[in-house]
């Protein structure tokens, strides 16, 4: 009976230790979030045709196997903001897009994104449409086991301020 009691106590303690370690890893995790989007090339009309996304590690540890995916999209005003086809937090395989081995605390991953296939910027200024930059970043914590995901959706319009404010969609721009 004493051996059975001892085995039960050891099992309880192992579960508590595992829970404590899991909480410590979670509280010390990396958190990649966009710290701004800048145009790096424009069309002759002044429309961004290549953008640089600044993904900063705001967390408390190194982010490893960092994979970014995203594009520029053109939509009519009032349309639902686009979601890049490579961005799904439940995706099993990581997309074969931009990859960085590691991003330290306070450091950045800075991918450059182009228009998605089929997106036409040629008559953008006269069309009254809105330009979106939509994408995501997948990354792992230092343990290499837990995968994290952050979403990005920003907008640009020729008649608004020339920065990239976040999309007006409460289900976007999150960290998971």
Of 166, 141, 131, 140, residue with least CA distance to 151: 166
As given in the structure block, the two tokens for residue 32 are 């990649």
Strands 48-57 and 108-109: what pairing? Answer: antiparallel
Res. 23: pLDDT tops 90: no
Please check the confidence at residue 12 and state whether its pLDDT lies above 90: no
Q: What is the mean pLDDT of residues 36-57?
A: 92
What does the pLDDT look like over 97-155, one tens digit per residue? 888 888 998 999 999 999 999 998 887 877 888 899 999 999 999 888 889 999 999 99
Mean pLDDT of 7-36: 63
* pTM, two decimal places: 0.80
What are 67's strand-pairing partners? 99, 138
DSSP single-letter state for residue 172:
S
Helices (H), 44-130: 124-127
**Cβ(136)–Cβ(86) below 8 Å:** yes
């Amino acid at each position: 009976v004493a051996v059975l009691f001892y085995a039960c106590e050891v099992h309880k303690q192992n579960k508590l230790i595992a829970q404590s370690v899991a909480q410590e890893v979670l509280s010390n995790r990396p958190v990649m979030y966009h710290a701004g989007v800048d145009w790096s090339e424009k069309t002759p009309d002044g429309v961004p045709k290549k953008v640089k996304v600044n993904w900063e590690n705001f967390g408390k540890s190194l982010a490893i196997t960092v994979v970014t995916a995203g594009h520029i999209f053109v939509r009519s005003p009032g349309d639902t903001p686009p979601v890049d086809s490579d961005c799904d937090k439940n995706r099993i395989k990581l997309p074969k897009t931009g990859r960085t081995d590691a991003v330290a605390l306070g450091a950045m991953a800075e991918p450059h994104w182009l228009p998605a296939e089929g997106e036409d910027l040629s008559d953008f200024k006269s069309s009254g449409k809105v330009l979106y930059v939509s994408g995501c970043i997948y990354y792992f914590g230092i343990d290499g086991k837990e995968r994290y995901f952050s979403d990005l959706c920003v907008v640009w319009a020729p008649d608004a301020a020339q920065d990239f404010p976040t999309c007006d969609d409460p289900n976007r721009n999150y960290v998971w």
